[in-house]
């Protein structure tokens, strides 16, 4: 007997809904208080963590596409929160790092955001938090496995 579909017990729906609610709630900190969009916020975090990166690396690390990164960088740059210089090895590549202002801003936001996350996770035991992250890891891994063989990134460049 096959079970039937109810949104309340349907993982794609539940996951989407949870993610949405988390975003809306969290964005009160970095969006409303500090005027950052989600992509801008992710770029900020990533540069704070890694120092200097190429735009393409930021793309990798943030799960944003290159258009989003480009626009986020433009916005942050206008506000003087990051500097970009072009690589001497490859003059197409843009090297990005936070300015002092950017670092300062990040260090002001970071504890607020971490505190918010702690508040969210507070009802879960540390072990349960571990389980949660592990489950997410495993599901993401599984999604990659499920990707059908002939995907977009496959037959790259054969016929003209």
Partner DNA sequence: GGCAAAAGGTTTCCAATGCAACCATTTGCC
Partner DNA sequence: GGCAAATGGTTGCATTGGAAACCTTTTGCC
Site residues for a copy of itself per CB under 8 A:
2-7, 9-23, 25-26, 38, 42, 45-46, 48-49, 61-63, 110-111, 113-114, 117, 119-124, 128, 131-133, 135-136, 138-143, 146-147
Tokens of 42: 């992710």
Give the side-chain half-sphere CA count within 13 A for 157. 0
CA atoms of 117 and 81, how far apart (whole Å): 24
Decide if residue 93 touches DNA (CB under 7 A).
yes
Tokens of 159: 């016929």
Decide if residue 99 touches DNA (CB under 7 A).
no
Would you tell me how many other CB atoms lie within 10 Å of the CB of residue 48? Answer: 17
- Give whichever of 23 and 101 is closer to a copy of itself, judged by the CB atom: 23
Q: What phi and psi values does residue 84 have, to the nearest 5 degrees? A: -125, 135
- 95 neighbors 54 (Cβ within 8 angstroms): yes
Residue 81 binding target from a copy of itself, DNA, none, CB below 5 to 8 Å by type: none
- Give whichever of 91 and 144 is closer to a copy of itself, judged by the CB atom: 144
Residues near DNA, by CB under 7 A: 37-39, 54-56, 59, 65-71, 73-74, 84, 90-94, 156-158, 160
């Amino acid at each position: 007997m096959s079970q039937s579909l109810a949104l309340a017990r349907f993982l794609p729906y539940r996951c989407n809904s949870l993610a949405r609610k988390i975003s809306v709630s969290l964005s009160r900190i970095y969006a409303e208080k500090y005027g950052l969009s989600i992509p801008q916020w992710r770029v900020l975090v990533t540069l704070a963590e890694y120092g200097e990166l190429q735009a393409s690396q930021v793309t990798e690390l943030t799960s944003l596409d290159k258009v989003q990164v480009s626009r986020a960088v433009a916005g942050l740059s206008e506000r003087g929160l990051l500097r970009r210089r072009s690589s001497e090895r490859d003059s197409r590549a843009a090297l990005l790092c936070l300015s002092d202002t950017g670092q300062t801003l990040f260090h002001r936001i970071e504890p607020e955001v971490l505190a918010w996350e702690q508040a969210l996770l507070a009802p879960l035991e540390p072990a349960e938090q571990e389980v949660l992250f592990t489950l997410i890891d495993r599901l993401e891994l599984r999604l990659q496995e499920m990707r059908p063989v002939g995907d977009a990134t496959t037959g790259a460049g054969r016929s003209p």
